[in-house]
């Protein structure tokens, strides 16, 4: 067997035959997707405690309407059919506006919130039905301890705006029974494209394009690629540093060339990343199919994922191994790790802009930068839009060339630095190694 | 005897510091070649260049008459001075790994053979981290020689070993030489070099200062040494003319006499002071030669 593969086999076994590998295999997706999971599990667990809301109503009308709406809500929406409480009761307390001392009045009410006597208070401006730009009395203000994210605010806002619209329409003489039609919102359903089955010639109808699918699939694939880099390629920096520090490197160099040594380690990491991602993807495919959402899986992207993963691990792994060879201790490795990881993290910053506009100039441009192609191009390809075929081909060609360059450059630095025991070589010296070998 | 390793005017620098300067060396096939020299003199750098781990700045290295030394890696066994092993691997598993790397045809059988030979069979399934220092060093030696290479390069093979283990390694080296391997090893133990090496090579400050058989080297320095044992010891030797240096070993003193000095006059002077138990005129020991070269500024003082 080739010496690179012998070293790779040892690296692979040493990595996967450990308890740490099994634990990280389970924990990594939990850490990465844990936030999303908790949000999904608990999004319906709302606070059902009753809410007292004082209303300072300068219109003298809308406060009463809101009280009526609250009574209707309390009767119809708070308990389910089994008599179980599923929503809070809203208790609207109308308060006369103190026109002489409005600020003091609001301060007193704020103190009542702080003292937990009431949940919030609302100020309805005098001119909200016929507002004038920039005037305080043309607005409504909701005061609470967590006003920005308070769901009560949304409930109040929705009901009062509907009521304001009704009043405006009544003033225009539009009949009451036509008002509900006016307020009926017609949704524009997002659909995919129709396709034709090349075998049967049948037209396959378009599928509903959900927001979840549009964001979730690219998000998961990008995150998986990132996780693989973090689990397999980035740790090469410390692994090589440790082998250098523990003097294993020189013993190994008695049996294999520096190139075989470096590439053996990189290939071992590559095998680990393929194993891990294959387990994750197989697990995801099984779970999603079991949930009956099998049509969400973009099978056509999976080969691209593994092609990009292959080059990405070799490209980043070679750089990390070379940098690891320049370090003499963990302090050196820590100092160099973040700057080395930064270019890998950058694609994550562009995730949302690329998902929102995968065909835009920004998305196209950064997806053709070789270091980012595996992540950004994959992200674009996994969205529902059609990426011109030349772009993945050009991107992949760039990645292949850059991979060859990084292996070449990495091996030159690796060879020169692996046995140096003094301080970490400066950039100038690294460039010298790169040029002279 | 044909040369198996040839170094032709090798120079190597790190930054502004010249570590090896214009070094030439021929190692005959089947010989044991000893590398001596103080710390930092360039021994390890020279060995690394022979191993193709470092490239010389100038000069040519030929192994098996071939300029590309790297391609012969499987025919060379290399034990570096500072060596480490994968601690989490089991001993036999580790030896098998190196067997595969060195293309040994039956790794399992060879591993068992060497483990038994070095009395490590009971530790075959122990993790390397559980082995004692001496045991680890024996494992390191095994992985160096397991493929019975034509050339064996050992950088300080005896350092840190107790006399029993050092003897086991020494026996193994001699056995390998007997079976046709050429051995090149560096050492700080002059007694070992004197006893084991066919040729001795000394490098000092990156330059070759000695190269040849022990006899030829000692001859070069002449018979300027008197080994003496007296009742008065060191006290009976003070302030005697014609002596350039006295090396006091406690029971025995080694006197170096100045050129053109009559050793009989020195003997007479000592006899007038104390009773002599032993008196021998000889060439300097390798240890003495080493010190003379490596400490030229101190050779005029009593040590």
Instruction: Reduce the DSSP state of residue A188 to 3 states and report it.
Output: coil
How far does A412 lie from chain B, in Å, by closest CA?
A: 12
Mean pLDDT of A131-137: 85
- Is residue A319 pLDDT above 50, yes or no? yes
- Interface contact A432, partner B, CB < 8 A: no
Mean pLDDT of A296-323: 92
- Interface contact B70, partner A, CB < 8 A: yes
B75: nearest CA partner in chain A: A255
Same domain, residue pair A92 and A125: yes
- Interface contact B54, partner A, CB < 8 A: yes
> Are residues A256 and B101, on separate chains, in Cβ contact within 8 Å?
yes
Same domain, residue pair A265 and A385: yes
Looking at residue B301, its pLDDT comes to 40
Q: Flag whether A88 is in a domain.
A: yes
How far does A331 lie from chain B, in Å, by closest CA?
A: 20
Place A133 in a pLDDT band, splitting at 50, 70 and 90. confident
b/e code B207-237 from CB counts within 10 Å (16+ = b) = ebbbbeebeebbeebeebbbbbebeeeeebb
- Is residue B299 pLDDT above 60, yes or no? no
Contact A230, A311 (CB under 8 A): no
Identify all chain B residues contacting A437, using CB atoms and an 8 Å cutoff.
55
B54: nearest CA partner in chain A: A416
Q: Flag whether A198 is in a domain.
A: no
Instruction: Reduce the DSSP state of residue B299 to 3 states and report it.
Output: coil
Q: Which of A6, A14, A254 is opposite residue B51, by nearest beta carbon? A: A254
Identify all chain B residues contacting A1, using CB atoms and an 8 Å cutoff.
100
Q: Flag whether A40 is in a domain.
A: no
Strands (E), A175-235: 195-196, 203-204
Contact B63, B220 (CB under 8 A): no
At B192, phi and psi to the nearest 5? Answer: -65, -45
> Are residues B51 and A10, on separate chains, in Cβ contact within 8 Å?
no
> Are residues B144 and A254, on separate chains, in Cβ contact within 8 Å?
yes
- Across the A/B interface, how many CB contacts are shorter than 8 Å? 61
Place B290 in a pLDDT band, splitting at 50, 70 and 90. confident
Q: Which of A251, A255, A419 is opposite residue B83, by nearest beta carbon? A: A251
Q: Flag whether A140 is in a domain.
A: yes
Picking from A76, A70, A79, A34, the residue whose alpha carbon sits closest to that of residue A52 is A70
- The Cα–Cα gap between A321 and A266 comes to 8
Query: How far is CA B155 from each of CA A250, B77, B100, B183, B184, rounded to the nearest angstrom?
Result: 12, 11, 23, 11, 8
> Are residues A248 and B86, on separate chains, in Cβ contact within 8 Å?
yes
CB within 8 Å of B165: residues ≥ 6 apart: B134, B137, B138
Looking at residue A76, its pLDDT comes to 92
Mean pLDDT of B32-55: 88
Please state which of the ranges A75-89, B8-22, B287-301 shows the lowest mean pLDDT: B287-301
Identify all chain B residues contacting A419, using CB atoms and an 8 Å cutoff.
48, 53-54
Strands (E), A32-81: 51-57
- Is residue B123 pLDDT above 70, yes or no? yes
Looking at residue A309, its pLDDT comes to 95
Same domain, residue pair A260 and A311: yes
Query: How far is CA B2 from each of CA A354, B27, B29, B275, B300, rounded to the nearest angstrom?
Result: 69, 8, 6, 52, 41
Query: How far is CA B106 from each of CA A186, A292, B110, B125, rounded to the nearest angstrom?
Result: 77, 53, 6, 18
Same domain, residue pair A302 and A424: yes
Q: Give the number of residues written for chain A.
A: 437
Mention the CATH class of domain B3-86+145-212.
alpha beta
Tell me the percentage of chain B whose pLDDT exceeds 70: 96
- The Cα–Cα gap between A415 and B48 comes to 12
Looking at residue B296, its pLDDT comes to 58
> Are residues B83 and A437, on separate chains, in Cβ contact within 8 Å?
no
- Is residue A400 pLDDT above 80, yes or no? yes
- Is residue B208 pLDDT above 80, yes or no? yes
Checking ipTM against 0.85, whether it exceeds it is: no
Mean pLDDT of A378-389: 89
- Interface contact B101, partner A, CB < 8 A: yes
Q: What domain range includes position A330? A: 3-32+209-436
Contact B277, B248 (CB under 8 A): no
A64: tokens are: 């009463």
Identify all chain B residues contacting A3, using CB atoms and an 8 Å cutoff.
101
b/e code A325-355 from CB counts within 10 Å (16+ = b) = bbbbeeebbeebbeebbeebeebeebbeebb
pLDDT higher for A29 or A115?
Answer: A115
CATH number at A84 reads 3.40.190
- Is residue A110 pLDDT above 90, yes or no? yes
Looking at residue A237, its pLDDT comes to 92
Looking at residue B112, its pLDDT comes to 92
Averaged pLDDT score across all residues of chain A = 87
Mean pLDDT of B116-121: 90
Looking at residue B244, its pLDDT comes to 82
Q: Under CATH, what is the fold of the domain B219-298?
A: Alpha-Beta Plaits (3.30.70)
Which tens digit of pLDDT belongs to each residue from A196-251?
A: 888 888 888 877 766 667 788 888 889 899 989 998 899 999 999 999 888 898 88
Picking from B281, B169, B173, the residue whose alpha carbon sits closest to that of residue B222 is B281
Looking at residue B19, its pLDDT comes to 92
Please state which of the ranges A290-299, A417-426, B267-276 shows the lowest mean pLDDT: A417-426
Contact A253, B51 (CB under 8 A): yes
CB atoms within 10 A of CB B294: 18
B78: nearest CA partner in chain A: A254
Q: Which of B70, B82, B88 is opposite residue A250, by nearest beta carbon? A: B82
Please state which of the ranges A57-66, A206-215, A246-255, B120-129 shows the lowest mean pLDDT: A206-215
Place A314 in a pLDDT band, splitting at 50, 70 and 90. very high
- Is residue B302 pLDDT above 60, yes or no? no
Same domain, residue pair A216 and A171: no
Counted domains in chain A? 2
CB atoms within 10 A of CB B297: 6
Place A298 in a pLDDT band, splitting at 50, 70 and 90. confident
Which tens digit of pLDDT belongs to each residue from B55-102?
A: 899 999 999 887 765 667 888 999 988 888 999 999 999 999 999 999
- The Cα–Cα gap between A230 and A218 comes to 18
Mean pLDDT of A159-163: 92
Q: Which of B83, B85, B101 is opposite residue A255, by nearest beta carbon? A: B101
Contact A55, A93 (CB under 8 A): yes
CB atoms within 10 A of CB A377: 29
Which tens digit of pLDDT belongs to each residue from B161-183?
A: 888 888 888 999 999 999 999 99
Exposed/middle/buried for A238, CB within 10 Å: 0-12, 13-18, 19+? middle
Contact B59, B208 (CB under 8 A): no
- The Cα–Cα gap between B249 and A408 comes to 57
Looking at residue A95, its pLDDT comes to 94
At A288, phi and psi to the nearest 5? Answer: -65, -40
> Residue with structure tokens 């620098």?
B13
> Are residues B86 and A14, on separate chains, in Cβ contact within 8 Å?
yes
How far does A405 lie from chain B, in Å, by closest CA?
A: 22
Measured in whole angstroms, the distance separating CA B235 from the mean position of its chain's CA atoms is 35
Q: Flag whether A387 is in a domain.
A: yes
Contact A355, A209 (CB under 8 A): no
Looking at residue A397, its pLDDT comes to 96
- Interface contact A6, partner B, CB < 8 A: yes
Same domain, residue pair A152 and A230: no
B179: tokens are: 């079976």
Looking at residue A386, its pLDDT comes to 85
Residues 234-253 of B with CB under 8 A from A: none
Place A57 in a pLDDT band, splitting at 50, 70 and 90. very high
Contact A153, A143 (CB under 8 A): no
A8: tokens are: 């790779």
Same domain, residue pair A327 and A389: yes
Contact B61, B9 (CB under 8 A): no
Contact A9, A268 (CB under 8 A): yes
Place B303 in a pLDDT band, splitting at 50, 70 and 90. very low
Which tens digit of pLDDT belongs to each residue from B243-278?
A: 888 888 888 888 888 888 888 888 888 888 889 998
Averaged pLDDT score across all residues of chain B = 86
Q: Give the number of residues written for chain B.
A: 303
- The Cα–Cα gap between A46 and A44 comes to 6
Of A165, A182, A199, the position where a domain reaches its end is A182
Looking at residue A184, its pLDDT comes to 78
Place B189 in a pLDDT band, splitting at 50, 70 and 90. confident
Same domain, residue pair A276 and A307: yes
- The Cα–Cα gap between A324 and B302 comes to 49
> Residue with structure tokens 């079976």?
B179
- Interface contact B48, partner A, CB < 8 A: yes
Same domain, residue pair A315 and A390: yes
Which tens digit of pLDDT belongs to each residue from A259-282?
A: 899 999 999 999 999 999 999 899
How far does B86 lie from chain A, in Å, by closest CA?
A: 7
Contact B128, B139 (CB under 8 A): yes
Same domain, residue pair A65 and A28: no
The DSSP result for B60-72, as a single string, is EEEETTBS--GGG
- The Cα–Cα gap between B227 and B247 comes to 9
Domain locations along chain B: 3-86+145-212, 219-298
Q: Flag whether A39 is in a domain.
A: no
How far does A223 lie from chain B, in Å, by closest CA?
A: 31
A374: tokens are: 């595996």
Picking from A161, A162, A144, the residue whose alpha carbon sits closest to that of residue A152 is A144
Picking from B208, B158, B219, B204, the residue whose alpha carbon sits closest to that of residue B183 is B158
Of the residues B48, B80, B95, B136, the best mutation for testing chain A's interface (the one with the most A CB atoms within 10 Å of its CB) is B80
> Are residues A419 and B143, on separate chains, in Cβ contact within 8 Å?
no
- Is residue A45 pLDDT above 80, yes or no? no
- Interface contact A255, partner B, CB < 8 A: yes
- Interface contact A5, partner B, CB < 8 A: no
B70: nearest CA partner in chain A: A257
Same domain, residue pair A386 and A322: yes
Q: Which of A248, A254, A419 is opposite residue B85, by nearest beta carbon? A: A248
């Amino acid at each position: 067997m080739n010496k690179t593969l012998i070293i790779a086999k040892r690296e692979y076994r040493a990595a996967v035959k450990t308890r740490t590998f099994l634990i990280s295999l389970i924990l990594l997706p939990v850490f990465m997707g844990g936030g999303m999971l908790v949000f999904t599990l608990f999004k319906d667990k709302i606070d059902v405690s009753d809410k007292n809301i004082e209303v300072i109503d300068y219109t003298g009308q809308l406060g009463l309407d809101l009280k009526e709406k609250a009574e209707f809500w309390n009767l119809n929406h708070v308990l389910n059919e089994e008599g179980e409480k599923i929503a809070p009761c809203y208790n609207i307390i109308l308060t006369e506006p103190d026109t002489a001392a409005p600020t003091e009045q609001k301060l007193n009410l704020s103190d009542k919130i702080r003292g937990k006597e009431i949940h919030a208070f609302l100020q309805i401006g005098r001119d909200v039905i016929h507002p004038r730009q920039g005037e305080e009395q043309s607005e409504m203000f909701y005061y609470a301890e967590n006003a920005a994210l308070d769901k009560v605010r949304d409930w109040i806002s929705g009901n009062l705006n509907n009521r304001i619209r009704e009043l405006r329409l009544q003033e225009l003489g539009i009949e009451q029974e036509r008002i509900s039609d006016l307020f009926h919102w017609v949704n524009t359903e997002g659909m995919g494209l129709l396709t034709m089955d090349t075998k049967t010639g049948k037209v396959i109808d378009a599928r509903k394009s959900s927001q979840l699918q549009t964001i979730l699939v690219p998000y998961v694939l990008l995150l998986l690629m990132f996780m693989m880099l973090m689990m397999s390629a980035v740790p090469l920096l410390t692994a090589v540093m440790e082998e250098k520090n523990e003097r294993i490197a020189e013993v190994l160099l008695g049996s294999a060339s520096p190139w075989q040594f470096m590439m053996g380690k990189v290939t071992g990491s590559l095998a680990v990343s393929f194993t891990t991602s294959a387990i994750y993807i197989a697990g995801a495919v099984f779970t999603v199919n079991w949930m009956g959402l099998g049509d969400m899986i973009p099978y056509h992207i999976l080969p691209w994922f593994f092609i990009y993963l292959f080059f990405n691990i070799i490209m980043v792994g070679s750089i990390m191994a070379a940098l690891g060879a320049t370090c003499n201790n963990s302090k050196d490795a820590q100092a160099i790790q973040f700057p080395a990881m930064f270019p890998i993290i950058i694609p994550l910053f562009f995730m949302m802009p690329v998902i929102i506009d995968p065909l835009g100039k920004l998305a196209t441009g950064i997806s053709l930068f070789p270091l980012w192609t595996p992540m950004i191009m994959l992200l674009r390809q996994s969205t529902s839009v059609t990426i011109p075929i030349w772009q993945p081909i050009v991107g992949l060609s760039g990645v292949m060339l850059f991979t060859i360059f990084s292996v070449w450059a990495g091996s030159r630095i690796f060879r020169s630095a692996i046995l140096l025991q003094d301080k970490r070589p400066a950039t100038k010296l690294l460039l010298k190694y790169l040029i002279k070998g | 005897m044909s040369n198996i390793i040839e170094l032709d005017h090798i120079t190597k620098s790190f930054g502004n510091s010249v570590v090896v300067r214009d070094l030439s060396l021929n190692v005959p096939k089947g010989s044991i070649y000893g590398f001596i020299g103080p710390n930092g003199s360039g021994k390890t750098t020279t060995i690394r260049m022979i191993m193709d781990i470092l490239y010389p700045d100038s000069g040519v290295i030929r192994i098996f008459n071939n300029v590309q030394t790297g391609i012969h890696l499987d025919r060379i066994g290399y034990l570096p001075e500072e060596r480490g092993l994968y601690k989490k691997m089991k001993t036999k598993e580790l030896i098998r790994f190196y067997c595969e790397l060195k293309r040994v045809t039956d790794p399992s059988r060879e591993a068992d053979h060497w483990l038994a030979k070095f009395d490590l069979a009971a530790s075959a399934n122990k993790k390397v981290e559980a082995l004692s220092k001496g045991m680890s060093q024996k494992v390191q030696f095994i992985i160096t020689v397991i493929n019975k290479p034509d050339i064996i390069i050992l950088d300080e093979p005896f350092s840190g070993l107790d006399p029993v283990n050092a003897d086991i390694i020494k026996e193994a080296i001699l056995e390998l030489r007997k079976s046709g391997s050429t051995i090149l090893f560096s050492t700080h133990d002059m007694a070992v070099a004197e006893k084991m090496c066919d040729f001795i090579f000394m490098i000092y400050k990156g330059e070759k200062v000695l190269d040849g058989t022990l006899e030829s080297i000692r001859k070069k320095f002449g018979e300027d040494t008197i080994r003496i044992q007296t009742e008065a010891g060191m006290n009976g030797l003070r302030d005697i003319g014609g002596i350039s240096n006295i090396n006091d070993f406690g029971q025995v003193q080694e006197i170096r006499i100045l050129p053109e000095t009559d050793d009989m006059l020195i003997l007479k002077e000592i006899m007038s002071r104390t009773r002599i138990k032993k008196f021998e005129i000889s060439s300097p020991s390798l240890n003495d030669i080493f010190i003379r070269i490596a400490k030229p500024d101190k050779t005029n003082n009593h040590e």
